[in-house]
Amino acid sequence: MYAVIKTGGKQYRVTSGERIKVELLPHEVGAAISLSDVLAIGSADDLKIGSPLLEGVSVPATVVAHGRHDKVRIFKMRRRKHYQKRGGHRQHYTELEIGTLAA
């Protein structure tokens, strides 16, 4: 059984016990949260699809950690113009452990 959830402007296909990294959420480590933006839930033969969201369905999750992804290098250059610019970015994330899914 799997579910398709939406958080942080992205969609994730999750199963029970899976760990995923999502955009930073304002919850403490160890907090039990409920992800209510569920787009689909079920298995291959009985999949419930929302339009756009399923009503009354949520996916339980536990906040495992907060952190930052690896650095993404940014390099801009204009040829023959003596222009070079270097930079970097590290995006914050929240690691979630998905609980038991119930349709």
Decide which of 44 and 15 is more confident.
15
Per residue in 44-91, pLDDT (tens digit) is 889 999 999 999 999 999 999 999 999 999 999 999 999 999 999 999
Query: Residue 11 pLDDT more than 80?
Result: yes
What pLDDT, on the 0 to 100 scale, is given for residue 34?
Answer: 96
Query: Residue 103 pLDDT more than 80?
Result: no
Least confident of 35-39, 41-45, 85-89: 41-45
Host H or E run for residue 70 = none
Gap between the Cα atoms of 15 and 35, Å rounded: 13
Gap between the Cα atoms of 37 and 50, Å rounded: 10
Gap between the Cα atoms of 83 and 65, Å rounded: 40
What pLDDT, on the 0 to 100 scale, is given for residue 44?
Answer: 84
What pLDDT, on the 0 to 100 scale, is given for residue 102?
Answer: 82
pTM of the predicted protein model: 0.86
Prior bond of 26 cis (ω within 30°): no
- Token pair 């399923």: residue: 54
Ordered by start, the domain boundaries in the chain are 2-98
